[in-house]
Amino acid sequence: MTSVCAATKPRVVVLADDLTGAAGTAAMFADRGAACGVALGLGAAAARGPAPAPDVLAIDLGTRDRPAPDPLCIHEAVSGAFTTGAGLVAKRLDSTLRGHVRAEIAAALEAAPPGAIALVSPAFPALGRTVRDGRLYVHRQPDVDVMAAMGQGVALGRLDLATVRRGPVATSSALSSLVAAGVRVIICDAERDDDLRVLAAGTADLPVLPCDPGPLTLALAGARGLLPERRGEPPTLPAVQAPVLAVFGSRTPLTRRQVAHAEQAGLLSLVPVRGRPVLDARAVAGVLSRERRVAALLPAFAPCAEQEAAQALARAAVVALRQARAGGLYLTGGHTARTVLDALGVSRLTVLGSVLPLAARSVATSGSHAGLAVVTKGGLVGGEDAASRCLRALGVDGAAP
């Protein structure tokens, strides 16, 4: 990672623990006119590809679903990112603090330059995630105690909302006092995007490592002059002439409602995946070839480990794409999205922008599927119409086959 990233010199490097988070954060920057890429792993980040060097490079480290923290992976990624000359390095967190948050922040700080401080805020106002009194709220309902989640053994402080609302000068003074007292991890309250912009403005003279789902990192990049001048309207996905393959790996109730909405709108045909690769793939390819529209894969067998379900979905997707050339791919659920793209040999994406917050429009730029239009979305993202909106971004109109 180190040598190649140093050659490309991205303005911002984002280190994420899953693919949909990496792509979703990159999409926020793409919406602001930045050229953005996603690398699926440190090896992909180090590989030279045909796409131009991005302004923003997001790397999926794939650590969220590992059974235990991987501090060596985080240390390697963070130390490499800081040697690139990037103006900002960020450790992306899930907006509901899933994953190995405490261990990864600790490892990131250990690898960061001396004196760096972690600014931690899972606030994502556009998704209804806010932080007040050190606690995360999801759609105004109390959720995770962020202070408690950070645990013991770290010099921890908090910047309260009242201070933030007094503006950048008060915020800067409070942060400087915490740093002078030896604090290395600061939990930041925020309820609005304006709060995040104040936080960013108040840290202009501090060596910070933002740890957030993306909005604080974006605000910091803006405050530090790292966003390019807008280059006109964000680019659109290439026209998708062939059918679209959708893979639903998330099993959340929200995902089930999103599938039902898209099915009722006539946007997809469901193909239950039962863990039998040949028969599964034949069923998917049949729908793609016969109906020339969306075939939607979702696990239909008894509850099992997420990895087993993701592998079954990936096997069916690979064979189906080989038999009936789909022109677009919709993936929901970070672990499933990564497993499917790994199976397809896709290691890099160029991110074009957002369909909705944390749902990204991309194009594969590596492997035999280079040029494939891809939309990725986290399983807990969006309302009931989110899948329908993502499919329409791929050119699906719900017309009868």
What pLDDT score does 339 carry? 92
Task: Tell me which of 237 and 247 has the higher pLDDT.
Answer: 247
Which helix H or strand E contains 259, and what residues bound it?
helix 253-264
What pLDDT score does 318 carry? 85
**Residue 50 pLDDT exceeds 70:** no
Distance CA 222, CA 279 (A): 51
pLDDT in tens, 309-319: 788 888 888 88
What pLDDT score does 274 carry? 75
- The pLDDT confidence band at residue 256, using thresholds 50, 70 and 90, is confident
Angle, helix 71-82 to helix 101-111, in steps of 10 degrees:
40
**Residue 1 pLDDT exceeds 50:** no
Distance CA 130, CA 95 (A): 9
- The pLDDT confidence band at residue 375, using thresholds 50, 70 and 90, is very high
What pLDDT score does 37 carry? 95
Average pLDDT of span 191-217: 96
What pLDDT score does 132 carry? 97
What pLDDT score does 400 carry? 42
Spell out the residues 6+ positions from residue 335 whose beta carbon is closer than 8 angstroms to its own. 18, 64, 65, 249, 306, 307, 310
pLDDT in tens, 156-173: 999 999 999 999 999 999
Spell out the residues 6+ positions from residue 338 whose beta carbon is closer than 8 angstroms to its own. 18, 19, 40, 60, 62
**Percentage of the chain lying above the pLDDT 90 cut:** 62
Q: Which domains does the chain have, with CATH numbers?
A: 2-223 (3.40.50.10840), 244-393 (3.40.980.20)
Measuring CA to CA, which residue among 240, 246, 235, 236 is closest to residue 269? 246
Which has the minimum average pLDDT: 46-50, 146-150, 260-264, 353-357?
46-50
Token couple for 269: 């045909």
**Residue 6 pLDDT exceeds 60:** no
pLDDT in tens, 360-370: 999 999 988 89
**Residue 52 pLDDT exceeds 80:** no
